[in-house]
C-alpha cells in the first residue's frame, strides 16, 4: 500500500526533506505533526476498548493478543472515508452516462462474457440452487473487483480499527473489526485479511460480518476461499442475493421510453426510505407494470414481466435521457451497494454479458 509521505503518522518529518523550504516547511508541519502524533497516541489508547469489546463478543484471548499489539493508526483510510459522498450530503449528483461508459465498457463486457462461458457449468448449478441469474453474479464480480483483478491492499484489522477510532461510523467499523478477529478464530490466516480501505475483501468484496454469515464453499474443498476460488466467489455472491430477497424469474429492470407529456409530479416519490434515502429518493412511486403501460411507458428491449409486478421509474440524467423501470430485484442490487449508478451498471453489464 502506498501512503503519501506527508500523511504518515510515523514519519511526519519526511515532508521537510522534500520541500527544501527549511523553516517555512517546519512551521507548516508543526501543527500537522502534532495532530498526527495525537491521532497515533489516541489510537493506541483506544485499542484496549476495542479489545474489551472483542472479548465480550466472544473473540478468543489468543487472537486479541496476537493482533492488537501489532496495529498502528492509518490516517489514509480516515482521509478516504471523509471523501465519501455521504460525508458531503449536499454535493451535486453527477451524470450517469459517463459513469456507465466507464463501468459498462467493451473490456469489462468482453471479459465478463469469457468468465460467463468459462464458468457456465458452475454458474448454472448455482442459478438452479439460488434462482439468481448467472449474468448477475458475473456482473457483481466484474464491478466489485474487475473479475478478481483488484481486491485492495489495505490491512483490514488496521484499517477497521482506525475507522472505529476516528468515530464517524464507530458502531459499524467496530463490529466489522470484531468480525475480522472472528475470521481468524475460524482459521482464516491473518495475512489473508487484506482488502479495501473500508474493510471489503475478496472477489465479492464482502465485509467481514458478511463473510462470516454468507461466504460459501462453491468448489467443495471445505473452505470458503473468496480470495482465490472463482467458484467460492460466485457461490458466495449467489448466497448474498438469496439472503437479500432476490425473486427468481423477475428481471432487475429494463430501459424504457417515457412520453414527454408524462406529468412527473403525479408519479413523484412522496415517501422517505429509512435505508439509503438519498438513493431511493431519486426513484418514482411504485406502480404495477399495467399501470406504467397505461401511462404510456414503453420498454425498449425486453418484454414486460407480469402485469402485477411492481416497478419504480428512474431517469438518472433527467427527462429526455435514458430511463429505466426497476423491480424489487433492483433493490437487492442496492442492498449489495447502495448506489443507483452501481446498481444500474450491474444490471446493464449483466444484460450485455448475456446478450
Residues that bind Ca ion (CB under 5 A): 217, 219, 221, 225, 229, 232
The full 3-state SS of 5-49, as one line of letters, equals: HHHCCCCCCHHHHHHCCHHHHHHHHHHHHHHHHHHHHHHHHHHHH
What is the layout of strands, in order, in the sheet containing 298-299?
286-288, 310-314, 323-326, 253-257, 298-299
Look at residues 296, 302, 327 and name the one whose alpha carbon lies nearest to residue 314.
327
CA–CA gap between residue 113 and residue 345 (Å, rounded): 16
Least distance to Ca ion, CB of residue 59, Å: 24
Residue 202 Cβ vs Ca ion, minimum distance, rounded to whole Å: 12
- Min dist CB 212 to Ca ion, Å, is 16
Q: Is the dihedral of CA 234, 236, 238, 240 positive or negative?
A: negative
Cβ pair 202, 227 in contact under 8 A: yes
Say if strands 286-288 and 194-195 run parallel, antiparallel, or are unpaired: unpaired
Task: Output 31 or 222, the one with its CB closest to Ca ion.
Answer: 222
Q: Which is nearer to Ca ion, 155 or 232 (CB)?
A: 232
CB of 263 to Ca ion, least distance (A): 54
The answer to whether 9 and 37 have CB atoms below 8 angstroms apart is yes
Work out whether the CA dihedral 83, 89, 92, 96 comes out positive or negative. positive
Residue closer to Ca ion (CB basis): 175 or 219:
219
Smallest distance from the beta carbon of 185 to Ca ion, in angstroms? Answer: 19
For Ca ion, give the closer residue by CB, 236 or 283: 236
* Beta pairing partners, 299: 256
* CB 47 to Ca ion: min, Å: 33
Q: Which residues pair with 124 in a beta bridge?
A: none
CB 180: neighbour CB atoms within 10 A?
Answer: 31
Give whichever of 71 and 231 is closer to Ca ion, judged by the CB atom: 231
Pick between residue 233 and residue 283 the one whose CB is nearest to Ca ion.
233
Which of 219/317 has CB closer to Ca ion? 219
**DSSP 3-state of 332:** helix
Q: What are phi and psi of 288, to 5 degrees?
A: -75, 160
Please, what is the minimum distance in Å from the beta carbon of residue 38 to Ca ion? 44
Task: Compare residues 219 and 354 and give the one whose CB is closer to Ca ion.
Answer: 219
CB of 125 to Ca ion, least distance (A): 14
Query: In the complex with Ca ion, which residue's Cβ is closer, 75 or 148?
Result: 148
> CB of 219: closest distance to Ca ion in angstroms?
4
Locus of grid cell 438513493: 279
Residue with Cβ nearer Ca ion (203 or 347): 203
Instruction: Let me know if 104 is exposed, middle or buried by CB neighbors in 10 A (0-12, 13-18, 19+).
Output: buried
In the complex, minimum distance from the CB of residue 232 to Ca ion, in angstroms, rounded to a whole number: 4
| Distance, CA of 88 to CA of 228 (rounded, Å) | 36
**C-alpha cell of 299?**
420498454
C-alpha grid cell, residue 75: 490516517
Amino acid at each position: 500500500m502506498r501512503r503519501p509521505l506527508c500523511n504518515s503518522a510515523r514519519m511526519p518529518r519526511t515532508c521537510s526533506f522534500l520541500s527544501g523550504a527549511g523553516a517555512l516547511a517546519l512551521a507548516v508541519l508543526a501543527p500537522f505533526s502534532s495532530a498526527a502524533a495525537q491521532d497515533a497516541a489516541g489510537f493506541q489508547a483506544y485499542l484496549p476498548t476495542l479489545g474489551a469489546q472483542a472479548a465480550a463478543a466472544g473473540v478468543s484471548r489468543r487472537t486479541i493478543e496476537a493482533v492488537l499489539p501489532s496495529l498502528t493508526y492509518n490516517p489514509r483510510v480516515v482521509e478516504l472515508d471523509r471523501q465519501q459522498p455521504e460525508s458531503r450530503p449536499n454535493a451535486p449528483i453527477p451524470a450517469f452516462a459517463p459513469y456507465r461508459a466507464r463501468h459498462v465498457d467493451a473490456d469489462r463486457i468482453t471479459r465478463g462474457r469469457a468468465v460467463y462461458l468459462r464458468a457456465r457449468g458452475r454458474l448454472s448449478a448455482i442459478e438452479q440452487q439460488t434462482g439468481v441469474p448467472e449474468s448477475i453474479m458475473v456482473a457483481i464480480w466484474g464491478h466489485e473487483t474487475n473479475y478478481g483483478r483488484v481486491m485492495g491492499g489495505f490491512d483490514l484489522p488496521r484499517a477497521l480499527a482506525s475507522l472505529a477510532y476516528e468515530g464517524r461510523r464507530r458502531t459499524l467499523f467496530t463490529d466489522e473489526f470484531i468480525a475480522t478477529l472472528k475470521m481468524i478464530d475460524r482459521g482464516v490466516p491473518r495475512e489473508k485479511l487484506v482488502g479495501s480501505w473500508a474493510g471489503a475483501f475478496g472477489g465479492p468484496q464482502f465485509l467481514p460480518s458478511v463473510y462470516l454469515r454468507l461466504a460459501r464453499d462453491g468448489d467443495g474443498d471445505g473452505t470458503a476461499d473468496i480470495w482465490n476460488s472463482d467458484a467460492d466467489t460466485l457461490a458466495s455472491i449467489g448466497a448474498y442475493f438469496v439472503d437479500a430477497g432476490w425473486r427468481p424469474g423477475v428481471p432487475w429492470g429494463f430501459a424504457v421510453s417515457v412520453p414527454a407529456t408524462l406529468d412527473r409530479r403525479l408519479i413523484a416519490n412522496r415517501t422517505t426510505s429509512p435505508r439509503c434515502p438519498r438513493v431511493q429518493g431519486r426513484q418514482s412511486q411504485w406502480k404495477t407494470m399495467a399501470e406504467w403501460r397505461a401511462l404510456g411507458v414503453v420498454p425498449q428491449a425486453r418484454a414486460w414481466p407480469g402485469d402485477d409486478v411492481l416497478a419504480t421509474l428512474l431517469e438518472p440524467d433527467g427527462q429526455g435521457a435514458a430511463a429505466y423501470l426497476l423491480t424489487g430485484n433492483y433493490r437487492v442490487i442496492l442492498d449489495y451497494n447502495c448506489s443507483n449508478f452501481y446498481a444500474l451498471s450491474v444490471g446493464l453489464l449483466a444484460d450485455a454479458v448475456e446478450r
